[in-house]
Structure 1
Amino acid sequence: MPRIGKPLFLWQKKLQEMGFSIAATRGTARSLFEAGILCEVVQKVHEGNPNITDYLRAKQIDLVINTPVGYHAHKSDDEIRTEAMRLKIPYTTTTSAANAAVQAIEYLQKKQVTVRELPQ
């Protein structure tokens, strides 16, 4: 199980500060807990039911941040992505996109939206 570096915890902590709950698979949940971030533990697709796709179908997940590593992860990634897209749930597989999504949510909650013309 790859270790998650502390800088990656910034967006998870920010989500909690904004009032969101976090759900993670066992290994990620352990790393988050060690960093002081509590979350609900969900099973991976190949681990049985209920799993992440069941949570998606039950509309208990509003944003999917999936960073697949390993054979099972890549195999289940297709199922998770397909279900998220079918249900119109935002989905990303990179931490940079996750960070950008969290920043966007934060700005929207604060109603700090600014429209600027793009340079030509």
Structure 2
Amino acid sequence: SLTDKAGLQSIVEPLVKAGFSFIATSGTAQALTDLGIANRAIKKQKEGRPNAIDLVLNREIDLVINLPGDARSRVDSLYIRRVALDHGVPYFTTLPGAQAAAAAIAALHEREVNLKAIQDYHAK
């Protein structure tokens, strides 16, 4: 669960700097609000519609971070994970993975990336 404020803050701060907005289910939405981060609360699948899965299906979500805590949460997360993967939406299920992704996204927004073909490095 993303209700651990220290862990949550380490993920959202870089994403805020990169211009992301946040959609979260109730517990995470409250934790974001407590941190002063604007967000939109959305229902879990079992709570009705529209829910997080609907937003993934409608291509309204670009990145999913789902850190299930207990066994029930892990079962609930299976469908959103499947939908995210089927629709090419990046999906992170661990705090270190989400932190690394957030840091990488922020780094891409902070500086220009110069791409070269590998052949360019070996050209004479």
TM range (shorter): 0.7 to 0.9
Counterpart CA distance in 1 for 2:41 and 2:56 is 14
Mapping of residues 36-115 of structure 1, within 5 Å:
36-109=36-109, 110-112=111-113
Q: Does 1:14 align with 2:14?
A: yes
Counterpart CA distance in 2 for 1:6 and 1:95 is 11
Deviation at 1:107, TM superposition (A): 2.0
Residue aligning to 1:118: none
Using the aligned pairs only, state the percent identity. 34
Deviation at 1:112, TM superposition (A): 5.0
Structure 1, 41-50 or 11-20: larger mean CA deviation: 11-20
Question: Cα deviations across residues 67-89 of structure 1 (Å, max 9, x unaligned)?
Answer: 11235422221101100000011
Query: In structure 1, what residue type is equivalent to 2:24?
Result: A
Contact map agreement 1:107 1:113 (CA 8 A) in 2: no
Counterpart CA distance in 2 for 1:96 and 1:113 is 27
- In the superposition, the TM-score normalised over structure 2's length comes to 0.81
Gaps in structure 2 of 5+ consecutive residues: 117-124
Distance 1:101 1:113, change over 3 A: farther
**Which protein shows a greater Rg?**
2
Contact map agreement 1:68 1:93 (CA 8 A) in 2: yes
Gaps in structure 1 of 5+ consecutive residues: 116-120
Deviation at 1:5, TM superposition (A): 3.0
Deviation at 1:64, TM superposition (A): 0.5
Secondary structure at the counterpart of residue 67 of structure 2: coil
